[in-house]
Structure 1
Amino acid sequence: MNVRRGQGVTGVDTTTTRAFGLGALRAVDEPLESLDASALSEVARSATLAQNLAGATRLHAAYLLVESFKALDEAAHGEPGTDTRPAHARLDPADRARHHLAAAMAMTRWHARHLVTAGVQIHTRLPRLREAVERGLLPEQLAIDAACRLAGIPDDIISGVESDVVARLTRDLAGGHRPSRTALDTTVDASRERHDPQGAGDAVDAAADQRTVRFRPERDGMTSMWAHLPSGDAEKLRRRIDAAARAAADTGHPRTRNQLRADALVALGDPNTTDIADPLPDHPADDSAAGPAAPGATATSGGASSASGEADAAAGRAPLGASWGTDQPIRISVINSITQGLPNRVEFVTGAYASFDWLCEELLSGGDAKVRFELLDPQPGTEDTPEAALKYRISPALAERIRLRDGSCRHPGCTVDAHDCEIDHVIAFDHQRPELGGPTAEWNLVCLCRKHHREKTFGHCAYRPGPLGELTIITETGHEHHTRPHGPLAQARDRILDHRWHQHLGRLIADDGHLTNPPGVERTLRATTPSGGTEEPTPPGRPGRPA
């Protein structure tokens, strides 16, 4: 392949910089398989440059979208100082842009938030970073990370810190090294401390206010945990976990060091163990089996004396089998699919409990655990009644059903668990004349997190419900986004429909691959003699598969 300066791959004009060690590239239209290593390297670099420039365009568009929403808001409600709306009814233009981009670009809420924040910062506060981004020097994600990190730097020192950070990033990239996020944080912190030592100390104190721990259940029975802790506290936790793991390893435990460290962490949250999964002498791990549940909606696990519950109360622990820190019973929903030819499934609202393994452990280790079993009919609308449709308040049974159906917030890109969402009427309920407004019925109710509930209430998008929980969002720009529920109840309905379809196909298509006529009845087969003689019809048998 002949590579010439001035154009990029397949005739597209590009402009490279010395950060890639190349001038502009021109590549003629040739199959990649026919190129040598040198040409392939240049093609890859040219494509990387195009990707970086596309990222610059996305960042610019995100910033302009914020400005557009701000202008629309001012045109409708006046300047910020003259806006008479209450504070809770005012939507931040940046938040509106994040919600819009999450749906328009199929992004997670986290990515949309960082894209908008970076776009605004780069085009309002960070001219050096903007120049580097527009020249294609920085990969999009690195530019986003840098801009979001610099967003917390005060205006009086931002110029110096930005200059240090951009110089370090471009120098590393020119040498073929992409800085990690940790290296970026170190560069920003060092520059901030150099330009404002007192402010750097205040930033450390402010960062402690952002400490958090998050859990994310996975499908294989495991859960990921992410913690953001002050360094001193994290070091104490690390030392305790490592010490317990080393002690267990010294006693000859066959588990790996990673497994022992994980077990040591879990032991910190289990009141019935010492360090590494060793039951306390007065709390055997499994000294009895659970007794049969009494009939009714609420069952109490058997096999443990009331003294255990009293001991838990005296120790300040929640009863086993209840949500940790609350006396509310565990709510277990059984989706009744047996009448549809499928086994019943035990489910609970996404985010309500950690996992099925945790739930089973709670039930088996019992105490005075209370469990509420509810049998759910998967057919849509079974909880709807004419009387309830005209009442604004949603019954607990219907609310549980909506959360089981949706699984999470229904706004595109949002992953807030249904347990932490609010339930909203898609078509607004009319409090003055309920018969003229949206009914309190399953098809008209969806889960929305607090932010997206406010967006729906005070924003300018249109929302349209569907009979099975579908939700269509029509944005101010005229784009339509169609979402479907993905919770346990919706998945059960999909399985039932799939099972019915396969049953229908089984009746419709005979073993020879032809359609039965009529459906469900074996078609009349015609046998052909080996000698090629006349064909005699085979008498039809009873419905079903031929023997």
Structure 2
Amino acid sequence: MSNPWIDLPDEFHAGVDPAHPERSDTATHMERFRSIRHGEAYLAWSRYQSIATIYDQLVVNSDGGFFIDRYTEMVTRVCREDAITRYRADQWVGEALCLRDRLPKVATTLRDGILSRELIQTVIARTDLISDDAVIADLDTDIEHSLRSRKGAWSKLTLRDMVDRLVFRHDPDAVRERRRETLDKRGVWTDNFIDGTGEITGVMAAENIRIAEKAVKALADTVCAHDGRKRNQRNSDAMFALLTGTIFECQCGRDDCDAEIPDPAEVVRSVSTEIVIHVVTDAAVIEGAPGIGWVDGHGVVSDEHVRDLANRPDAIIKPVTPVRTPPVRVVADDASDASSTEVVFVYPGAQAADPYRPTTACAEFVRVRDGYCIEPGCPCSSFDSDLDHVTEYDRTNPARGGATSSENLNAKCRFGLLHKTFGDWIDLQYRDDDGRLVTEFVTPEGFTILGDAETLEDFFPNLRRIRYEQPPQAPPTPRVIAGDDTPPTTNRLASKHARRRAERARNRRERERREEIDGPPPF
């Protein structure tokens, strides 16, 4: 049987010859990756279209059967053609009907390669409980607008948070009611497996889940380096010890084991007093105004949930700006800000004794702003990540660039930071014409990969009006964060930093040239 996909025109392969892929360079293959990703999304959209059409032909416009209903007939066609289970085929059918009947505009983003099928499933799941047709229609429009208007990549977590934020905006009462209903259904369940093991599941408030998880990991990490169990195995044993009050032991078998295993009850008391659950919200929400909050490790929560957390006896409420440090008020007048008359509040960004190190307030603000590690798709929390100077700080000549400021800092997981430090990639961070913070990653061969499209600035727009700068009197950082391209070089590290500064300056000029000719990208 012939396969027409083999003979696709060259443009579908982004210039790579399928018969001789080794003749194309890495940058061309990266373009091919992107083309294939868009193609996979289009094919998923096409499949959804055909499924919906077959549904109309076999189910809607047909008389029902006696022993086997028409819907089963339809699902059977899907599962047997793809050699998948009926459960998975039923998923495909349900998603196809949801996209056609509830989220037709979001479906077009799958067709155009903005979202993948996996991400479309996230949108479907997070909007599933909306029952009002008018609300779902407005939500469909707003989600599509966000997906098409943002410059950046969508990971599962950032997309989930964006959709949850819009769901709460359109149907806040339903969100609050669902939370109360879910809390009423909390409990503990067990299931026995045939191989002598079992599973225990507990449903509880998000903050209690974080505390319980922290307690389990804290006890599991007290063993010595020679313990032979994997992390999940140690977590399982630690959880049993905490639930039953029994002893948790290191299993290295060594006479000179140096592990100091605490009593499980002591771990619980210690963790309960030391764990920090980061919750970000507007001050007005705590005082009773409608709005949302964001819980590190969980995502979007309702205003009612935020106030419940704020009223806990162990809650500590801190503003994201220094209390005792008056800000410098600056009227924004560059194109990077949403309004030419918007007032930006500027605070000291670097420690006076060491300009390389950000102040505690600046570091906390950057983590609040980013929410997650800025590596596309990385689920690591910004509060568990390191802070990195996007444009490298020059210790020999700080005036060359790389300021310790909120606009030149972002959160990276440990791997992302080490890869930036020792690798040859270049990352960029700048504000676009709408004032949104954009991150980009440039591979050594010059291929640009966009960072996440969503930060907590999109949840709490007032964060865009806050800057931490070096020195504190300086105006807000210019739109493009890049140093000059002619620094002297004295060693290998300085040479690498100089090359990166030159590359950033070149990228900036190229981006401005493209926008001047073509205008900003559509999405």
Alignment TM class, shorter chain as reference: 0.3 to 0.5
Structure ranking higher on relative contact order (CA contacts 8 Å, 6+ apart): 2
Larger C-alpha radius of gyration, 1 or 2?
A: 1
Q: TM-score by structure 2 length?
A: 0.38
TM-score in terms of structure 1 length: 0.37
